[in-house]
Amino acid sequence: MMSHENLPAFTQNDWSFAGGDGREGMTLRDWFAGQALACVYSRFRPDSDPGLDDLALQAYAIADAMLAERSE
């Protein structure tokens, strides 16, 4: 079950799923992380290798902070 703060990023009407598989797409957390990723990546120098795991952790940390701020 999806929490109230982490709804689908792009809402759809119920009729959108008629005959489909019921997938709602990415969550708001995923959307925020994707948007934050560009900022996180831009902080690294071109000659450095930030590591994909580190980039993902930072992007999702920002996304979690954004969701927490929304719930206040």
Please state the domain extents for the chain: 22-70
* pLDDT tens by residue, 14-69: 555 555 555 667 889 999 999 999 888 888 777 777 788 889 999 999 999 999 99
pLDDT of residue 2 exceeding 50, the answer is no
Torsion sign across C-alpha atoms 54, 59, 64, 65? positive
pTM more than 0.85: no
Q: What is the pLDDT of residue 65?
A: 95
Q: What per-residue string of b and e applies to 32-49 under the rule 16 or more CB within 10 Å gives b?
A: bbeebbeebeeeeeeeee
Cα angle: 55, vertex 58, 63; to 5 degrees: 125
Task: Give the pLDDT confidence score for residue 64 in this predicted structure.
Answer: 94
